[in-house]
Structure 1
């Protein structure tokens, strides 16, 4: 009977059943085979509902959806172009910074490609960059902001690991701080690559204009306080994560609907509906995944997995290298939310036994997921960019390879120099 049930669950997954249904079925099968009351699944859902950090997830998601539906992307590009456009390969740097900021607040790499790509790709080509380079830049930079606060994947990782109660505690502000230097490292390495590859191109660079700077700041004046809310509120210790999320969501809604008037009341209802459907899906998957994690722990599967890994991997350095390979493959075949809820409960206990701090592991995980977004053959950003720019997928494969190699170098540095992620942890 158990074998038949496993085959049915596998068929459900292959036929495209919702992820939460597959995980829930596997969880129920596991508990039934262990003679455990299925009420424990409801208990896990209730425990999730009591998580203090949980409130931040829908609020930041709502704020990100509003920003993605307004003209914030245009204002971000204008602002970054004023202050970075005069640099060598200035527009490439503008693309890197603008995409990272936009993804950090919207939490979605694909939205960044759709919203900013239409503006940046023609501008890059018009300024003199080669089309192949421009395609690769826009496709790869869409995921850069996943390590920057208030990234939704960062929050989700924090919730999952804290629910596991592994004994090595950390706060979400610490996780936010951990991603800043690695994200900056990626941006700097890509900027240096852009400057090197375009050194012989006849690029048109504009001089810094104080008048344009004032105009750009004035245009985005109502959105500029958003990073301040996070930096001062969270890192200054004045507000909790949930309070910052509430302030951000309320402020963004008022600014985009009343001040800029870019989102009408009717459209606001649709934004609320879409964002909460997204959150509902995440929470449903997260709830049943935590129940599944409970079963895995009871069945000592992480312990058996660790024993197997320990018998075959004799050093922390080797483990980290294999972990990176595994995560890169994972990122190419799974979306980031599915990867978080399925894989994190398995790899965190193993990583802790190798002496990897959970904060450092979170940065490694998300840094690899960033690259997975555009890893052939099925990286999600490749297909989004192919559709958005009407280009063959094979052309995007070729365009993104140099950027992938640069970011792989960054991942190796992030992996083997843990100080970049844990410098503030005593």
Structure 2
């Protein structure tokens, strides 16, 4: 009875707008107290994450992403992809997809992508002859593309959370990066095919088509940014550098290029950029720390085991479980940001999925792919409201605009779910 009352109080606090870390931390403290364990155990769990070398990658990649977002790099990226692909039928739409995917992969936040690239891509698509609804839908939905590509923060965070659960199956962050590659490409290919079909025969009256001189000028314009993904991704996939080393390289390189060489970010603005980046990092790490403490209580109380036993009594095979999992994750993605969902839900869900014989790598890609489209799933997808504010359009207009993209990506999620080889082939599982 006491547990039920406490749960209701915490749920009410969360709905009333209490910070998520405070609600999770309070639940952990109460759980430890009811179990007769000293509350200092929560502090020990928070301190334990400081001993995880991979965690260094989160603030460093976040810093690199914020520096790139505040610089003129988005404009140079759009110019480069437009020079190479924009002259073809549907090419500008593919430019938008690729630019957003690359940008989200480094920033780890789809909202930043919509804000940073939206002002460039939306008017460009309109000028090229694309309809208003298609242009809005493309920019809003492609803002979440890139979550499955290295060095995406959600990929890293999933790996960090999963590694704390002492799984019987080993899993590394490098494996996760490889696992997300083909599913991410599948999503890009499906949306690109639709964009080419939708934009057949369209070309901006101001676009000269492919121009070798413009392409070369765009390559030179982006010359300092181009080596960054090559160094980082080539080093990670090639096994030459560790994830934390790649993150340090990305942060230092972005800082030197955008502040010292390019001068896009003045020294006086740099502290503000650092503060904004570390606000996100602080929120992630604090939620992660208190969630690990809460997870231990749930494991001691056999919550995942009991949940698996209950689900197994209702769902008798893994294929049915997977479709129910997709529905649950889509709803979750509408209501909860991806970082909170990772640290709260994965510790409960992963042991249950293992009971159905689902590889943790495969589960991670299914989880993130669903959360990716949950960002713009009506009625409460976060990107819908960000895009509504950014472009000055009613939310209902965004609902209608994103529906075709939602169904296309939902089809991609089902393929990813029921064809495990897409996620497991490159890691060699």
Query: What's the offset of the Cα at 1:43?
Result: 1.9
Q: Residues of 2 paired with 1:186 and 1:86: CA distance?
A: 23
Q: Residues of 2 paired with 1:207 and 1:201: CA distance?
A: 11
What is the alpha-carbon root mean square deviation over aligned residues?
1.3
Pick which of 208-217 and 194-203 moved more. Answer: 194-203
Q: Residues of 2 paired with 1:307 and 1:329: CA distance?
A: 23
Asked if 1:393 is matched to 2:395, the reply is: yes
Q: Counterpart in 1 of 2:59?
A: 58
Asked if 1:136 is matched to 2:168, the reply is: no
Q: Residues of 2 paired with 1:170 and 1:3: CA distance?
A: 36
Cα deviations by residue, 1:62-119 (Å, 9 ceiling, x for unpaired): 1011011001110110111122213320000000001100111111101111111111
Q: Counterpart in 2 of 1:408?
A: 410
Q: Counterpart in 1 of 2:230?
A: 228
Q: Counterpart in 1 of 2:255?
A: 253
Cα deviations by residue, 1:29-71 (Å, 9 ceiling, x for unpaired): 1111111222221221122111111000000001011011001
Q: Counterpart in 2 of 1:350?
A: 352
Query: What's the offset of the Cα at 1:207?
Result: 2.5
Q: Counterpart in 1 of 2:117?
A: 116
Give 2:308's match in structure 1, choosing from 306, 309, 329: 306
Query: Does the aligned pair in 1 maintain the 2:366–2:416 contact within 8 Å?
Result: yes
Q: Counterpart in 2 of 1:238?
A: 240
Q: Residues of 2 paired with 1:207 and 1:313: CA distance?
A: 55
Alpha-carbon spacing, 1:202–1:243, altered in 2? closer, same or farther (3 Å): closer
Cα deviations by residue, 1:196-219 (Å, 9 ceiling, x for unpaired): 223365765642211111111101
Q: Counterpart in 2 of 1:78?
A: 79
For structure 2, the 5+ residue unaligned runs are: none
Q: Residues of 2 paired with 1:198 and 1:243: CA distance?
A: 42
Asked if 1:381 is matched to 2:383, the reply is: yes
Pick which of 134-143 and 187-196 moved more. Answer: 187-196
Q: Counterpart in 1 of 2:100?
A: 99
Q: Counterpart in 2 of 1:297?
A: 299
Query: What's the offset of the Cα at 1:240?
Result: 0.9
Q: Residues of 2 paired with 1:380 and 1:387: CA distance?
A: 11
Equivalences for 1:171-182 in 2 at 5 Å? 171-182=172-183
Secondary structure, aligned partner of 1:266: coil
For structure 1, the 5+ residue unaligned runs are: none
Q: Residues of 2 paired with 1:370 and 1:319: CA distance?
A: 20
Query: Does the aligned pair in 1 maintain the 2:416–2:422 contact within 8 Å?
Result: yes
Q: Residues of 1 paired with 2:403 and 2:237: CA distance?
A: 37
Query: What's the offset of the Cα at 1:181?
Result: 0.9
Secondary structure, aligned partner of 1:110: helix
Query: What's the offset of the Cα at 1:232?
Result: 2.5
Q: Residues of 1 paired with 2:354 and 2:276: CA distance?
A: 37
Query: Does the aligned pair in 2 maintain the 1:85–1:206 contact within 8 Å?
Result: no
Q: Counterpart in 2 of 1:368?
A: 370
TM-score, normalization: structure 2? 0.97
Query: Does the aligned pair in 2 maintain the 1:107–1:153 contact within 8 Å?
Result: yes
Q: Residues of 1 paired with 2:135 and 2:3: CA distance?
A: 52
TM-score, normalization: structure 1? 0.97
Q: Residues of 1 paired with 2:237 and 2:133: CA distance?
A: 40
Query: Does the aligned pair in 2 maintain the 1:129–1:203 contact within 8 Å?
Result: no
Alpha-carbon spacing, 1:133–1:228, altered in 2? closer, same or farther (3 Å): same
Query: What's the offset of the Cα at 1:229?
Result: 1.7
Query: What's the offset of the Cα at 1:2?
Result: 4.1
Q: Residues of 1 paired with 2:112 and 2:11: CA distance?
A: 31
Q: Counterpart in 2 of 1:282?
A: 284
Query: What's the offset of the Cα at 1:415?
Result: 0.6
Q: Residues of 2 paired with 1:62 and 1:410: CA distance?
A: 31
Query: What's the offset of the Cα at 1:3?
Result: 4.2
Q: Counterpart in 1 of 2:166?
A: 165
Secondary structure, aligned partner of 1:265: coil
Secondary structure, aligned partner of 1:147: coil
Secondary structure, aligned partner of 1:87: coil
Q: Residues of 2 paired with 1:196 and 1:217: CA distance?
A: 28
Q: Residues of 1 paired with 2:7 and 2:353: CA distance?
A: 28
Q: Residues of 2 paired with 1:390 and 1:19: CA distance?
A: 29
Q: Counterpart in 2 of 1:339?
A: 341
Secondary structure, aligned partner of 1:29: helix
User: May I ask how many residue pairs the two structures share in their alignment?
Assistant: 426
Q: Counterpart in 1 of 2:420?
A: 418
Q: Residues of 1 paired with 2:181 and 2:202: CA distance?
A: 32
